[in-house]
A and B are shown apart, each in its own frame.
Chain A
Amino acid sequence: MTLLSVKNLRVTFPTRQGPVDVVRGVSFDLGRERLGIVGESGSGKSQTGRAILGLTPSPGKVAADVLSFDGIDLRNADARLWRSLRGVRMSMVMQDPKFSLNPVMTIGRQLIEAGRRTVSKPQAKAAAMAMLEAVQIRDPKRVFSAYPHELSGGMGQRAMIAMMLITEPDLLIADEPTSALDVTVQIEVLRILDRLVTDRGMGLIFISHDLRLVSSFCDRVLVMYAGRIVEEVKASDLGQAQHPYTQGLLRCLPQIEGGARPLPTLQRDAEWAR
């Protein structure tokens, strides 16, 4: 079943030199699965995620042939429709929890605030506690009454995920959700996301620069370059990727086992950006 359908998505920013397309005709369908979007800085991967949630910063403009979420056309959604969707049926986890959590509100209050959009206040409180436990926070009571600055990076990111998931959205867009975290914590956070997708049947778009991590976590990977999808591969078949960009990205990573020295570098081809 298709949860999200995107066809020919374009995001344009006006500059002094004229309009610049940062996303140029991206199309994909998402079911209740884990979809990875991988690319280097400037590839348009983050802007793709933002455009889906209507969060393109002004003066950016979004255009698409199809942009529908569960049958709802998002292209000309008004503020009211966005309010009923964002944070309720579709949510986003950003890279750094420090900038996404309100610094002067306790985690608990922020969770209840988020949860109250679908249920009553007492229910929201119960749901908040349950959610903190679901994201593997060992001492949910302490975190509930803590302020964001009292939490470590990993804890903050878990609290953030809890807040985004308390309304049990159908779609979660995670933009580099683990890049600010240590590797060992990173794996734990991914495990939480994994469980939520499996247990709740949520659709997940996982945006990252880390090809290896994405391919080990997602079902399907879209590789973006200069605003376009250059290749779509099943995560398990990444080794057989066809596009020279994907191949180059994989090869240029150093490996613990040792490998080529010097490392093969990526020879960019103007043809890829067309």
Chain B
Amino acid sequence: MGLIDIQALEVTFTGGAAPVRAVRGLTLSVNEGESYGIVGESGSGKSTVLRAICGLAPTSGGVISVDGTALSRPRTPDFYRRVQMVFQDPYASLHPRHTVDRVLAEPLAIHGFTDAERRIETALTDVGLGTGFRFRYPHQLSGGQRQRVAIARALILEPRVLLLDEPTSALDASIQAEVLNLLDRLRGERGLTYVLVSHDLAVVAHMCERLTVMQHGLAVEELTRADLQARRAQMDYTRALLAASEGYRANDPMEASSSSAARA
């Protein structure tokens, strides 16, 4: 039994013209200390899975359990101390009128920590920012620095599980490398469990030991990192994703001959 168990999860959004089944019968299990990836394109329901785990999306069926106990609704304060999340867009996930200090002090105040000063300073040092950033507003930070603050906020309650929703897709490539390295290091130091959602197979292959490919709310297939590296994908959709991640190739074999003829 894993640390996070998801059994036949269903998420249906009502309210629009027709109900949308964003996640349809997803089952997966994440072991303690593991980094697990969920890959898919927009609308595949991959981010909705994360939101369902932390109670931000309405589950209409199935069971999510952490540590063997099914999650209650609403989530208990204890849940938030075990599971935290980092969002995709660092420009949207920090309150524009709160300083870094306020952002980090808020969770500590909610959960009644008394040694806030020390914890805030440690958290900032741990994510490689240093205490000089403590009293800045988000508009005084770059995208990468904001994402580091978001990671510090998620880690300040010392959770065991970190849910990462496309944590680097809004960042430049060089900044992405720094943030991925930071996440990697923190996991090693603290034995954290990651669930990482991304559209980028390379990021998932770099970060995760196992992954699930999702399409239209369904799990297409589950792979290990070794499977991915050896391109041992069973399903056509996964193969298409793998092919697309290689970049552009002049044409598929059929058309290649005709277009090269035209160019000549």
* A residues apposed to B, CB below 8 Å: 40-41, 153, 182-184, 186-187, 190-191, 194-195, 198-199, 209-213, 215-217, 248-249, 252-259, 261-266
Contacts and interface: CB of A to CB of B under 8 A. Distances in A.
Contacts, number: 100
B214 to A, nearest CB: 12
Contacts of B263: 198
A-B CB proximity, top 10 nearest = A216-B247, A254-B206, A182-B41, A252-B177, A266-B174, A183-B244, A262-B181, A40-B172, A263-B177, A217-B248
A252 B243 CA distance: 21
Interface string B191-205: 000000001111101
B249 interface: yes
A215 B247 contact: yes
Nearest to B260: A198
A258 B173 CA distance: 17
A256 B201 contact: yes
B17 interface: no
A248 B173 CA distance: 10
A264 B180 CA distance: 11
Contacts of B172: 40-41, 209
27 contacts: A153-B42, A182-B41, A183-B245, A187-B248, A194-B251, A209-B172, A209-B173, A210-B173, A213-B248, A217-B247, A248-B174, A252-B173, A252-B174, A254-B177, A254-B200, A255-B205, A255-B206, A256-B201, A256-B202, A256-B242, A257-B205, A258-B206, A261-B206, A263-B177, A263-B180, A263-B206, A266-B174
Nearest to A212: B247
Contacts of B235: none
A174 to B, nearest CB: 13
A252 B176 contact: yes
Contacts of A209: 172-173
Given A183-B244, A211-B173, A198 B259 contact: yes
Interface string B162-181: 00000000001110111011
Contacts of A199: 262
Interface residues of B, number: 39
Contact of B174 (A40, A183, A210, A215): A40
A184 B174 contact: no
Contacts of A262: 180-181, 184-185
B246 interface: yes
B131 interface: no
B241 interface: yes
Given A252-B176, A252-B177, A258 B247 contact: no
A198 B255 CA distance: 13
Contact of B173 (A187, A253, A257, A261): A253
A243 to B, nearest CB: 14
B259 A253 contact: no
A263 B181 contact: yes
Nearest to A187: B244
A249 B247 contact: no
B46 to A, nearest CB: 12
A265 B244 contact: no
Nearest to B44: A182
Nearest to B171: A41
A216 B246 CA distance: 9
Given A183-B199, A257-B229, A265 B174 contact: yes
Most buried by A among B173, B241, B244: B173
A212 B249 CA distance: 12
Given A183-B245, A187-B243, A263-B206, 13 more contacts: A187-B248, A191-B251, A194-B251, A212-B247, A248-B174, A254-B203, A255-B202, A255-B205, A255-B206, A256-B242, A258-B229, A263-B180, A265-B181
